[in-house]
Structure formats: C-alpha cells, structure tokens
Amino acid sequence: MTASRTQHFTAAGLVLAVALSVTWLSFTQEPVEAFLFPRLISVVFSVLAAWNFIRAASGLAKVGTGLTIRHAGNIWPGLLVMLIYALFAAKTFGFYASSVVAFLAIYTLYDPTPISNGRGWARRVIVTIGFMIVIYGLFALLLRVQTPRGLFI
Amino acid sequence: MEFLGYFGGVFEPVSLLLLIGGTIGGLILGATPGLSPTMAVALLIPFTFHLAPAQGLILLGAAYTSTVAGGAVSAILLKIPGAPANIATALDGNEMARQGHGARALHLSFLSSGVGGVIGVLLLIFLTPMLAQWALAFGPSHLFWLAILGVTVIGSLDSKSFVKGLLSGCIGLWLSMIGFDDIYGAQRFIFTDALTGGIHIIAALIGIFAIPQVLEMFSKGRDGRAIQTIAVPDHSLKDSFREILGSGRALTIGTVVGSIVGLIPGVGGQIAGLVAYDQAKKFSPHKDKFGTGHPEGVIAAEAANNAMVGPSLVPLLTLSIPGSPTAAVLLGGLLIHGIFPGTDLFERNPEVAWTFINSMLIGQVLMVVFGIYTAVWAAKIARAPIPIMASAVLVLAVFGSYSVQQSMGDVTIMISLGVAMFFLEKFGFSAAPLVLGLILGPIAEANFNQGTLIAAAQDGPMVYFFTGPLNLLLILLVVLSVGYSFWSNMLHAPGSAKLEPAE
C-alpha cells in the first residue's frame, strides 16, 4: 500500500465508522417517531460509506490528494495554536488578549522573515495591534458583542 | 413590474452605505487569492445580525456580486484566480497584462461583468415570481423530494467523485439532525454539551468555509516568495467601452451560458466561465488567438461568471435550493433573519425580497464603477502576506462564530467542523453538498414528518410519496442526477485510476 492509499483507506474507514454509529443510534433510540428520518438517511449514509470503503480498500478511491509529510509538517504548529486559542485560551485568558497572542504567534510561525530580525518583530507587533484595534472597533464598539473576559480582557 | 416600487429601500442612506461598503470590500476580498467568495459571505453574516433583514441581505448580496468580479483582478494581474469562477479569465487576461494591456483587460473584465450581471439580475427579477407561482402547487412530499434533489444535484455535480459527493451530503443531513427533535423533544446525537442546541448554521458555515482555507495557508509553510504583480499602464476607458460594444458575440455567449448555468442548481461560476470561454473560442473566427491575450476570452468568461449570480438565486428564492455554494451561504443568511425562501416569499416579505433583488441590480453598476477605479489598488491589498491573511481569517472566524449566540459552544463547533472539513477535502469530500445537507436537512425532515402524518390519514406513505406527476418528476430528476454522475464517473475511471503517491 502506498502512503496515499493507506490514507484513503483510513479516511474511508473513519467515515464508515461514523455512518455505522449513526445508523446504530438511529435504530436503537426512542421514541421511534423522532428517529424515522434519521433512520432513512443513516441507511443511505451507511451504504454509500461501505461502497466508499470497499473502493478505498481496493485502491479505487483516487479522488483527493491526501496529506503529504511536508504539508502536515507545515500545518501542525499553526493547527496547535489554532486549537489552543479557540478551545482553551479564548475563554480562559479573554478573547482579546488571546487573539493578540494567537495572531502574533501564527504571523511569527509562518513569516518568512527570520525570527532574529528586529524589524520583522516590529512589523509583526504593529500589524497585530492594528488588526486587533479594528476587531475591537467592529465587535466591541459597533456590534456590542460581549466576549468572555477570562483572566485578562 | 412590482419590483419598481421597492427601489426606495435601496437608496436609504444606511442601505446605500452598506451597498457601497459591501461592493468595495467584496472587490478587495475577491481579489485576494485564498479568500473565496463563499468564505467572504460566510464571514460577513455575523455583521448582519444587528441590521434590518433587507439591509443585511443588501450587504451579503453586494459582497456576493463583487467578490466574483473582484476575483478577475488577481486572475489578470497575478495569474492567480481570486475565485474558481475566474479560472477562465486568467487564461487570456494575464497574457494581456503581460503584453502591457493590463488596464484594458481590467476595463473589459468589469464592463463585461456588469453587462452579464445586469442581465442575470433581470432574469432573477422576471423569472422568480413566475417560478414562485408555480411552486405554490408544491405539497410536503414535493418539498421533501426537492430538498433531497438539492443535495443529490450538488453532491453529484459539484464533486469529482459522486460517491464522496453524496456521502458529503449525507454527513450534512446527519449534522442537521443533531440536537433536540422539534416535535417529540427527543435528544438526537448529542455527544457533548456544545451540541445540546444543535449545530448553528452560521457557526458551521464559517467553520466549513474559513478554517480549511486557513489550514491550506498554513500548509504553504514559511514561503518567502512574494507575489509579483504586473505594471499597469493607463488605458482609455472610452476605448474600452467601444471595444465592449464591438464584442457582441463574446458578450452574448458569456451572458447566455452564465444565465443557463446559474439556473441549474449546484453548477457554479467556475463551470460558467470555462464553458463560456470554450464556446466563445468555438464561435470565434480568431480561435488561434485564444490563450495568447485575446480580449474575447476575458469578455466571455467574465460576462458568464457574473451572469450566473442572479439566476443562481432563482431556485434559492423560490424553492429553497441554492444554485451555487455561495447561494447556499446566502440561504443561511436569509434563514437567520427569519426569511424563509419559497412559494410565499413575495407575499409575506415583498419589501425584503424586492429590496434585496433591486440592490443587486444597483450593485452591478456600482461594481463596474468601483471595480474600474479601484482594481489596481485592490491588487496591491491582495498581496497581503499569507501569515497575515491566515491569522486575520482565524481571528475573524472565532469572533464571528461567537457573536452569533454569544456562545463558546459555537466556537467549538466552528473549529471542529472546520478542521474536519479540511481533512475531508483532502480525501475528495466536498464542502458544498455538506453545507446543503446541513441547510436542507431540517426542510426535508419537516416535510417528511408532515407528509408521513398526511399519508397515515390517506393511502399510506408509498402512495403519498411515490405517486403523482410532480413526485415522479422530482424522483426522476434525483435518479437522473445520480445516474448521470455515476455514468460520468465510470466513463472517466480508467484514465485516472492511478493513485497519487504521497511524499
């Protein structure tokens, strides 16, 4: 199996697992009337997922490039920052404080300017603060959205 | 001619400001590679909450129109189509720019977009009420089949693999069922507290369209290559007008193709642009000049992708079936304002519906004016470094999804769906059918339940759902859309059976 074929096989297996779980839940939960439509859809879902899985297992699921090692390596630091920011930091430390840190972190991680470059840091900090002022103006002042304050703001 | 009575709403100060702001913002977002029109409209929806329904829709409509046209700027000056709809524009547009005719290409692009767009919106104005009258004959069983048709058409036509397209639609339908059942109050598929209230459509739309693009930008790494623009020497606007008037054939082909493609649910602007380009080439006496910087290529492609915009809203406003992924997002925007597209839209909310449609007509004119004068400026903004765009889109997505219901659960759902969609897309699954399943799921289920109750009091579900000319026609269309896609997949299977090896 090539790396791509393994990836397609794994993805198809996960989708099949979700489809079968949805079908099982649809046929075992009560009241029956509330699950009529889910039953109908879940059967179609499972049949299609099984078909897709068989195609992937036999190497016929060829649409989609999968994920290369280089791309995965590029993505994970940003993905980690994204998940920490959205799922934990925004509520714990406050929306604005965590957004400043997340913006600056992602900008720094993917900025081609070397980290040791002082002017690069100055530019990144100015852009981050400028953008966050716009966001504050839009959401806090214009739309009056009350965001979680957390430890900071 | 009822629409003529509703132009006043468009020229109210706030509405006009939103129209101008949406047009300029849309042109810049459209010109920015990596930010799709669908994502731009999805990110704008939270900003419409505090507006009156008509004003919110004016902003979304202006953004929809101008992002499609704005995509031509980066296609011409950077050879990077701002949106899939502008792929055909890049073929001749960039060659023209390289030959020193960048301003001419931009003029022709916006003028032809304007002509195609105005005709497309006129079709929307005249076809929508007619189709809405016809749609009055639809009962629960027909609306159920229509919703299923919407998912299968997009699932089978919008995806490279029809199995994965339909699977994406099923995933969307399943997601739409999460939460409490409306009639019996039963809990369905609630695995975590964040899902108790179900999946809010706006949080889902932002996640599904914005987060995969952020991750796609991450995947490029610390790519230091700057995007090179081409110098744009001035060109007489009067000459461009003359050239457009003398290009009737390309303009007509683009407008006709775009209008027809727009009316077919699920077929987007990318198809419109490419088909129009191909047809303009076939009918041109200068076939060999296409691809070498021929103005007719730009005119046909741009007239088509903007002519598609208006007609793509016809099935949306009358039957709740969006004609394109961006129209699907607009449907989400309509629903959160309590506007339910369908048979009685023009009777219950004529002011909102007609003000929105009229604003799209005025928006086409504004798009031409602002497009011509801000294109080069927009191209400069479009060169914003990728890390800034990625960070900005992420922060906007988090704030936007939170502001919907002031709920952290929506942020969790947005991020989870976005990350899942990124990986699903990498394996050939498609966002458009998934979103359509999510939007049409409740419509399909409500009509299925209603139909089941009616059927129980009559001759049973088999007779109610599977007999009658309209039911049979809709079932036939479902079968045809799936069958055509299956046949098309089989036809192209042998040539592409080899897997792409990963690094």
Q: pLDDT (tens digit, 9 = 90+) per residue, B481-494?
A: 888 878 877 776 54
What mean pLDDT is predicted for residues B269-274?
75
Does this model's pTM top 0.90? My answer is no
Contacts of B424 in chain A (CB under 8 A): 11
Q: Where are the alpha helices (DSSP H) in B178-310?
A: 201-219, 237-245, 248-263, 269-283, 295-307
Mean pLDDT to the nearest integer, A2-29: 90
pLDDT in tens, B142-151: 889 988 888 8
Question: Which residue in A has a C-alpha nearest to residue B47's C-alpha?
Answer: A143
Most confident option among A136-140, B193-197, B328-332, B419-423: B419-423
Question: What is the residue-wise DSSP string for B312-375?
Answer: GGHHHHHHS--SSHHHHHHHHHHHHTT---STTHHHHSHHHHHHHHHHHHHHHHHHHHHHHHHH
Task: Give the pLDDT score at B343.
Answer: 67
pLDDT at residue number A139: 86
- Mean local confidence (pLDDT), B1-27: 87
Q: How far is B465 from chain A (nearest CA, A)?
A: 14
| Segment B307-332 mean pLDDT | 80
Residue A144 DSSP code: -
> A39 CB near a chain B CB, below 8 Å?
no
Q: What is the mean pLDDT of residues B13-23?
A: 92
ipTM of the complex: 0.94
pLDDT at A3: 54
Smallest Cβ–Cβ distance between A45 and the set B170, B402, B408 belongs to B170
Contact yes or no for B128/B314 (Cβ under 8 A):
yes
Spatial distance between the Cα atoms of A98 and A91, rounded to a whole number of angstroms: 9
- Chain B contact set for A18 (CB, 8 A): 171
Give the distance from residue B10's alpha carbon to the nearest chain A alpha carbon, in angstroms: 22
How far apart CA B493 and CA B490 sit, in angstroms, is 5
Q: Taking the alpha carbons of B26, B28, B31, B36 in that order, is the dihedral positive or negative?
A: negative
- CA-based nearest residue in chain B for residue A35: B188
Digit-coded pLDDT (tens) for B226-243: 556 677 777 888 888 899
Is the model's pLDDT at A103 over the cut of 90? yes
Residue A14 reports pLDDT greater than 50: yes
d(CA B399, CA B394): 9
Which of A11, A60, A147 faces B427 most closely, judged by CB atoms? A11
Q: Which of A14, A15, A82 should be substituted to probe chain B, the one whose Cβ sees the most B Cβ atoms within 10 Å?
A: A82
Phi-psi label, residue B34: left if phi above 0, alpha if psi -120 to 50, beta otherwise:
left
From B330, B345, B334, select the one nearest B136 (Cα to Cα): B345
User: Of A18-22, B138-142, B259-263, where does mean pLDDT reach its minimum?
Assistant: B259-263
Of B173, B263, B222, B209, whose CA–CA distance to B67 is shortest? B209
- Between B23-27, B266-270, B458-462, the lowest mean confidence (pLDDT) is in B266-270
**Cα(B216)–Cα(B381) distance, rounded to whole angstroms?**
20
Q: Is the pLDDT of residue A34 over 60?
A: yes
For the segment B95-115, the average pLDDT, to the nearest whole number, is 90
Average pLDDT on B11-22 reads: 92
pLDDT, mean of residues B178-188: 88
Instruction: Give the pLDDT score at B500.
Output: 37
Please tell me what DSSP assigns to residue A116: T
- Which residues 90-129 in chain A show a CB within 8 A of chain B? 90-91, 95, 99, 102-104, 106-112, 127-128
Residue type, B291: G
Q: Which pLDDT score is estimated for B159?
A: 66
Q: pLDDT at position B266, please?
A: 60
For chain A, positions 60-89, list CB contacts with chain B under 8 A. 60-71, 73-75, 77-79, 82-83, 85-87
- Unique residue bearing structure tokens 């502001």: B403
CB < 8 Å to A8, chain B: 427, 499
Per-residue confidence (pLDDT) for residue B503, from 0 to 100? 30
What pLDDT sits at residue B20? 93
Average of per-residue pLDDT across A50-74: 86
The residue of chain A with its CA nearest to that of B396 is A135
Instruction: Find where tokens 């039911």 sit.
Output: B471
Amino acid at B38: T
pLDDT bin (cut points 50, 70, 90) of residue B495 is very low
